[in-house]
Chains A and B, each alone.
Chain A
Amino acid sequence: QKEVEQDPGPLSVPEGAIVSLNCTYSNSAFQYFMWYRQYSRKGPELLMYTYSSGNKEDGRFTAQVDKSSKYISLFIRDSQPSDSATYLCAMEETGGFKTIFGAGTRLFVKA
């Protein structure tokens, strides 16, 4: 079993839809939770970063962490065609130097 599980999709939604992207994990020592966005043939870039449990909101994006269920989510409101990309969840232990990445979910937002 992988440390981080993420459905690779693809996920296709109409413009304006609410998108929910999710990851599960098995390592209870993970404390840092991140979402990266990767456009085609580009390097990933950090989108959201959360420490421990709780919610974090940034514009149309909301990240949620439920440590009791070992489950994290990224919500995108009012999705736009420019949101079409691969979204990778990532996690790390406190004091660690190795980030563990999910497989990435490919999202298509249709105009």
Chain B
Amino acid sequence: DGGITQSPKYLFRKEGQNVTLSCEQNLNHDAMYWYRQDPGQGLRLIYYSQIVNDFQKGDIAEGYSVSREKKESFPLTVTSAQKNPTAFYLCAGRQGKEAFFGQGTRLTVV
């Protein structure tokens, strides 16, 4: 089954803790993206990677970190420095101009 796989689907975190969201793909996409979705704000770009071992900050990178050690994997770490981390997080691969999204991870800070 090809696609973008995000895990877990739901994640709860205590304030002050770092948490890592997983994103795996078997579509052979070079480019991968992380977005954050909040009600009424659409998708905002956190980080993106066009190739292995390289990534760039998006519009709201503060409080987040990523790595791209393998083509198939692009994990996102939400650090304790992120002031308002409760949101729906979406990972995407890209072919041409089309983005292929995973099913998302809903992170809640408790």
A contact residues vs B (CB 8 Å cutoff): 4, 6, 8, 32, 34, 36, 41-46, 49, 88, 92, 97-99, 101-104
Contact = CB atoms under 8 A, between A and B. Distances in A.
Interface string B29-49: 001000100001111010010
Contacts of A41: 103-104, 106
A107 to B, nearest CB: 15
| B contact patch SS | strand
Contact size range, B? 20 to 34
A102 B42 contact: yes
B60 interface: no
Contacts of B104: 41-43
A43 B3 CA distance: 12
B42 A43 contact: no
A23 B48 CA distance: 25
Given A97-B48, A97-B50, A98-B48, A46 B42 contact: no
15 contacts: A8-B40, A36-B99, A41-B103, A42-B103, A43-B90, A46-B98, A49-B97, A88-B42, A97-B31, A98-B58, A101-B42, A102-B42, A103-B41, A103-B42, A104-B42
